[in-house]
């Protein structure tokens, strides 16, 4: 069976090359803002959902927190496990499936690590599975791009050169409502093509997902400084939702 696009692309070393220059300082500041705002303590149980190679989970753990990182990519988890300790664990897991091993006080899903699936139903199922993994009054922090702004500012083509590889990137909004990024490059004489496909989920759609999962919206922030969200200007949609 052919892998879903994210199973193939996220397992690829070229994914990590293309995005190697992500701003770690910005990510750490965002996490610090969240942990302070939410008054998270070392007694709480945290999940980093779609943790990649574990950079956010590792940072949280270095602050003294008990963290479990979950990701679909076995290659990512294999890498992350070298940093595991008594309060930092990593597991291969598909967010559409229930995670039955333990319950969490806070679940982080950061930096647009959602919207990858083919159907609305799968997205609903994923949110419901996350809700099941929360303790009563537990909170999900879901950080997604601001769909309205991304669509308005969409650039159809760009070229990025990283580690000697020239990535040709084409972007479009499909009729089905997905932002599709086609990534073409040549490495050591071989041509490659990968696709990123993220559902352009609007705020109103997220609110419906949360309602069906019995999650109550507590806050919606618009950037990593936790400024108020505005549909026309904000870079992000950062939802803080609580299990009812």
Domain assignments of the chain as residue spans, ordered by start: 5-145+202-243, 150-197
The tens digit of pLDDT for each residue in 64-81 reads 999 999 999 898 999 999
Count other Cβ atoms within 10 Å, centred on residue 104.
23
pLDDT interval class at 1 (50, 70, 90):
very low
> What strands lie across the sheet with 104-109, from one edge to the other?
88-92, 66-71, 45-49, 104-109, 134-145, 236-243, 215-221
The tens digit of pLDDT for each residue in 127-170 reads 999 999 999 999 999 999 999 999 999 999 999 999 999 999 99
Query: CA 171, CA 112: separation in Å to the nearest integer?
Result: 16
Is 111 a residue whose pLDDT tops 70? yes
> How much is the pLDDT for 2?
47
The tens digit of pLDDT for each residue in 86-101 reads 999 999 999 999 999 8
Domain at 5-145+202-243: CATH code:
3.40.50.150
Q: Tokens in use for 231?
A: 């549909």
Q: Facing residues of 90 across strands? A: 69
pTM here is 0.91
Distance of CA 47 to the CA centre of its chain: 12
Share of the chain above pLDDT 70, in %: 98
Which has the closest alpha carbon to 148: 228, 202, 197, 198?
202
Is 21 a residue whose pLDDT tops 80? no
């Amino acid at each position: 069976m052919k892998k879903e696009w994210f199973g193939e692309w996220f397992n690829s070393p070229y994914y990590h090359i293309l995005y190697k220059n992500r701003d770690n300082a910005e990510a750490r500041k965002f996490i610090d803002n969240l942990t302070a705002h939410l008054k998270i303590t070392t007694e709480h149980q945290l999940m980093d959902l779609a943790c990649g190679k574990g950079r956010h989970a590792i940072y949280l753990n270095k602050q003294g927190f008990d963290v479990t990182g979950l990701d679909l990519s076995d290659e990512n988890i294999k890498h992350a496990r070298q940093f595991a300790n008594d309060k930092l664990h990593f597991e291969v897991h598909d967010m559409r499936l229930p995670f039955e091993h333990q319950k969490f006080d806070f679940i982080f899903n950061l930096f647009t690590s959602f919207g990858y699936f083919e159907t609305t139903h799968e997205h609903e199922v994923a949110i419901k599975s996350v809700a099941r993994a929360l303790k009563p009054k537990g909170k999900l922090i879901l950080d997604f791009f601001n769909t309205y702004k991304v669509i308005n500012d969409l650039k159809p083509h760009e070229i990025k050169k990283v580690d000697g590889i020239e990535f040709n990137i084409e972007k479009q909004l499909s009729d089905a409502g997905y932002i599709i990024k086609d990534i073409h490059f040549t490495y050591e004489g071989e041509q490659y093509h990968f696709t990123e496909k993220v559902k352009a989920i609007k705020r109103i759609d997220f609110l419906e997902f949360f309602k069906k999962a019995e999650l109550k919206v507590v806050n919606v922030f618009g950037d990593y400084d936790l400024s108020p969200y505005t549909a026309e200007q904000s870079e992000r949609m950062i939802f803080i939702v609580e299990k009812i």
